[in-house]
Structure 1
Amino acid sequence: MKIAMIGSGYVGLVSGVCLADFGHRVVCVDKDASKIEALRAGRMPIYEPGLDTLVATNVAAGRLSFTTDINDAVAGADAVFIAVGTPSRRGGGHADLSYVFAAAEEIGQAVTKPVVVVTKSTVPVGTGDRVETILREACPDHEIAVVSNPEFLREGAAIEDFKQPDRIVVGTDDPRAQAVMTEVYRPLFVNQSPILFTGRRTAELIKYGANAFLATKITFINELADLAESVGADVTQVARGIGLDDRIGPRFLNAGPGYGGSCFPKDTLALLQTAEESDVSLRIVAATVEANDLRKRAMADKIADALGGDLAGKRVGLLGLTFKPGTDDMRDAPSLAIVPALLERGASVQAFDPEGMEQARAMLPGISMCDTAADAARDADVLVLLTEWDLFRALDLHALARTMARPILVDLRNVYDPSIVARAGMTYHGVGRGDLSKA
């Protein structure tokens, strides 16, 4: 099949290269000429493990190409995916759908035969209806079916998620579109990946519902961590105890500094906007958003408490800046709330992240970027583990303690066993871990 992927950002690029690896002929489109030039030269605009190799393999095989010319990409295509950004608009959290609608109009003008247009971007319920109207007005001469096909990719594991999905959701009632989408994903049937055909609006709501539920699960365990810390319990064992219940499950029960990234923050806000427009109250989701915002800011207080409450003149070593390991994505990362709070209280910050420092430089002015974890710890009054990169899971704590002004570790991801930290001569502060001698 010939497939056009409109948008070569995170979702579009990963989806496009994986579809090419399935054997389809895929053309990835982007208006950013410098991005397309870089991709043609084998330079990735994002960090995702294994992506560069997969791109090179499929370009060499002639299955994958990149262009700024949407007309050439769409002409003769069997399926056209819209994978452009839908960021939150300022004020209220509405999803900005201008890129989606602009893409739909351009697709309509470029269509040369009956085609299936697939919305891969995360969009509010009812967006597919508007996309269909735009396409029909722009292209009255060809049959166009509009499908919702939400993505469920985890940054840092996106290729695996695309190739071995736990489900494929396709929103359409059109038999021809169902046949096309079945052919698009036919290579996954070998792995018996379940494909769920639903109505288009149902598919759109599935995406938002999934992200809101996971965001709520994270926020729940974070609030439970505060209680555990207060009463002298260990939230890591609480999470294990409740996660062994197969009705709950262990994933997304790791207490920490709050969720961030490109999906959960904007999607929960967009879902609340949809609910408000429909005169429906989503009180749990609203509480999740509020609690998560407060959570990030509260982490600066936790760091200050480890230093007796006063940050003035103190040096903070920070390990990790991105919102999670395995990505260079800084969008809504907890560091964007924590670092300014530390600076406002008079601290200086020296940080190291394996992949995120280039993006972070512009977003976190006023901090020092270090070349290694050891450099971030040197002369620090406190060392804060903020992003749980594998690189930070086996630090030489004895060596770090010797170089610090005060050997204090604030472990915001509960990576370390407190007893191991203590044997290294460091004072340990975790999340949701009270007096562990009584826990």
Structure 2
Amino acid sequence: MYKIAVLGTGYVGLTTGIGLANFGSNVLCLDIEKEKVAKLKEGIMPIYEPGMEVLLRENKKSGRLNFSTDIGEGIKWADIIFIAVGTPQGEDGRADLTAVFNAAELIGKDINGYKIIVTKSTVPIGTNEKIKKIISSADTGDHEFDVVSNPEFLREGKAMYDFQHPDRVVIGTDNQRPVEAMRKIYRPLYLNEVPFVLTDFRTAELIKYSSNCFLAMKVAFINEIARLCDVVGADVQVAAKAIGMDGRIGSKFLHPSPGYGGSCFPKDTEALAAFSRDADMPLMLVETTIESNKKQKQYMVEKISKSLGKLDGARLGILGLAFKSETDDMREASSIVIINKLLEEGAEVKAFDPQAMDNAMKIWGDRITYGTDEYDLVEHTDAVVILTEWNQFRNLDLEKIANLMRGKLFFDFRNIYKPEEVETWGLKYIGMGQKV
């Protein structure tokens, strides 16, 4: 049984650590944030992710999962070290690799025998080669080690499911020595015949970015079709369903929305676009996807403004703030751009989200007000706007909402309702690319 250290306890690090412990390995998750580590030791999750806290406590109780702030001792203890630190977007759109390179230097300083270093963080092409050089330079003992690129393909809100039921496992390395160890730590997946893609560093790095950019492109495409449907009177719901029936295309990520957000799509599209420009081979589809997504967020504001006549003095109730349901993550959420623009135009905003309220308060403070639930939110509003597709928003008491509102506008920017079921109660339904 391998001893595994995971550097970083964010979404990727915690999912990796808890997932591998659940697969039977002994795992030590490492982080420099003392308060976060203290909570994790008590079985308290710092983020909202369905099912993760239960597995955290189960694997802690079994003794397979532990947490520490002692990075050096963790590195010395481990056979396999996962780098799962953040790679935030820099001001120029490029990935900020400071934390990754710092982790590599720490590994090099404390390496005390043969180790396998696995990069889980999303990194640009050529990064794993740099990691290898940094570790070698920092290692004064000339120890042997191998580096593996093992990108994650997790959806926030379904991270634990995706870890345990992946479509594939990508392993990029420059030699075969670490491959068997990687197969062993992922043994349950291997036994379930999950495909393992064995390749080199650069191809593994490119697979991750390409996958996210392609999915972002699908989101942007169907949003553009929805905008066209608004103009020509076609129905994007029917169109998207029919398009997705084509086996060459598939139905996933063909759902109209206020635009993609989160910790991956915005950052990864910008990073790949910047990298391709640096390589003098700009990716025009990726560049256009980025601009189209920005347009979609602005288009949401335009729809609201056009229907209200003016935004100044309008009272708006926003249902959903997280970038998607089943998460509290508000990084690059469409709600941020939309609400900020509404505030600039003089609107009064009241918002509610089942999980993201704490994060929202950090962003807006007292610039907006906050509802205690869906119905408190809509009281005396001129319009209600659905931005996140939480399940509890799918079965609202529409009669009650109609009675509580001052106005009658019901903006459904996730198309989770049919126009007729909303308009039955005297509300004016405005969705994405739907005939009313």
Instruction: Give the TM bin, normalised by the shorter chain.
Output: over 0.9
In the alignment, is the contact (CA less than 8 A) between 1:306 and 1:410 conserved in 2?
no
CA RMSD between the two structures = 0.9
1:312 paired residue number: 312
Q: Which runs of 5+ in 2 are unaligned?
A: none
Matched, 1:121 2:121: yes
Question: Shift in Å at residue 173 of structure 1?
Answer: 3.2
Say which SS state the counterpart of residue 177 (structure 2) adopts.
Answer: helix
Question: Shift in Å at residue 364 of structure 1?
Answer: 2.2
In the alignment, is the contact (CA less than 8 A) between 1:382 and 1:410 conserved in 2?
yes
2:322 paired residue number: 322
Map 1:148-297 → 2, pairs under 5 A: 148-297=149-298
2:87 paired residue number: 86
In the alignment, is the contact (CA less than 8 A) between 2:6 and 2:29 conserved in 1?
yes
How many residues were matched structurally?
433
In the alignment, is the contact (CA less than 8 A) between 2:183 and 2:190 conserved in 1?
no
Question: Shift in Å at residue 424 of structure 1?
Answer: 2.1
Provide the rounded CA distance (Å) in 2 between the counterparts of 1:47 and 1:315. 30
Spell out, residue by residue over 1:140-170, the C-alpha distance to the aligned partner (whole angstroms, 9 max, x if none).
5211111100000000000000001011101
1:414 paired residue number: 415
In the alignment, is the contact (CA less than 8 A) between 1:352 and 1:372 conserved in 2?
yes
Say which SS state the counterpart of residue 66 (structure 2) adopts.
Answer: strand
Provide the rounded CA distance (Å) in 1 between the counterparts of 2:408 and 2:20. 49
Spell out, residue by residue over 1:209-257, the C-alpha distance to the aligned partner (whole angstroms, 9 max, x if none).
0011011110011011111111111001100011000000000000111
Runs of 4+ in 1 over 3 A off after TM superposition: none
Provide the rounded CA distance (Å) in 2 between the counterparts of 1:393 and 1:95. 37
Amino acid at match of 1:391: Q
- Between the aligned residues of both structures, percent identity stands at 49
In the alignment, is the contact (CA less than 8 A) between 1:76 and 1:113 conserved in 2?
no
Spell out, residue by residue over 1:167-195, the C-alpha distance to the aligned partner (whole angstroms, 9 max, x if none).
11010132111111111111212321111
Question: Shift in Å at residue 306 of structure 1?
Answer: 2.1
Say which SS state the counterpart of residue 77 (structure 2) adopts.
Answer: coil
In the alignment, is the contact (CA less than 8 A) between 1:319 and 1:353 conserved in 2?
yes
Spell out, residue by residue over 1:10-67, the C-alpha distance to the aligned partner (whole angstroms, 9 max, x if none).
1000110010011100000001111101111121110000111110000010000000
Provide the rounded CA distance (Å) in 1 between the counterparts of 2:196 and 2:226. 37
In the alignment, is the contact (CA less than 8 A) between 2:301 and 2:342 conserved in 1?
yes
Amino acid at match of 2:376: D
2:356 paired residue number: 356
Spell out, residue by residue over 1:112-139, the C-alpha distance to the aligned partner (whole angstroms, 9 max, x if none).
2101100000000000010000111122
Provide the rounded CA distance (Å) in 1 between the counterparts of 2:403 and 2:77. 65
Map 1:330-369 → 2, pairs under 5 A: 330-365=330-365, 366-369=367-370
Q: Which runs of 5+ in 1 are unaligned?
A: none
Question: Shift in Å at residue 423 of structure 1?
Answer: 1.0
Provide the rounded CA distance (Å) in 2 between the counterparts of 1:203 and 1:150. 7
Amino acid at match of 2:4: I
TM-score (ref. length: structure 2)? 0.98
TM-score (ref. length: structure 1)? 0.97
Provide the rounded CA distance (Å) in 1 between the counterparts of 2:127 and 2:241. 39
In the alignment, is the contact (CA less than 8 A) between 1:321 and 1:353 conserved in 2?
yes
In the alignment, is the contact (CA less than 8 A) between 1:33 and 1:68 conserved in 2?
yes
Q: For structure 1, which segment, 108-117 or 413-422, has the greater mean C-alpha deviation from structure 2 after superposition?
A: 108-117
Say which SS state the counterpart of residue 362 (structure 1) adopts.
Answer: helix
Amino acid at match of 1:213: F
Amino acid at match of 2:57: A
Provide the rounded CA distance (Å) in 2 between the counterparts of 1:305 and 1:361. 28
Say which SS state the counterpart of residue 384 (structure 2) adopts.
Answer: strand
2:146 paired residue number: 145
Provide the rounded CA distance (Å) in 2 between the counterparts of 1:242 and 1:300. 27
Say which SS state the counterpart of residue 298 (structure 1) adopts.
Answer: helix
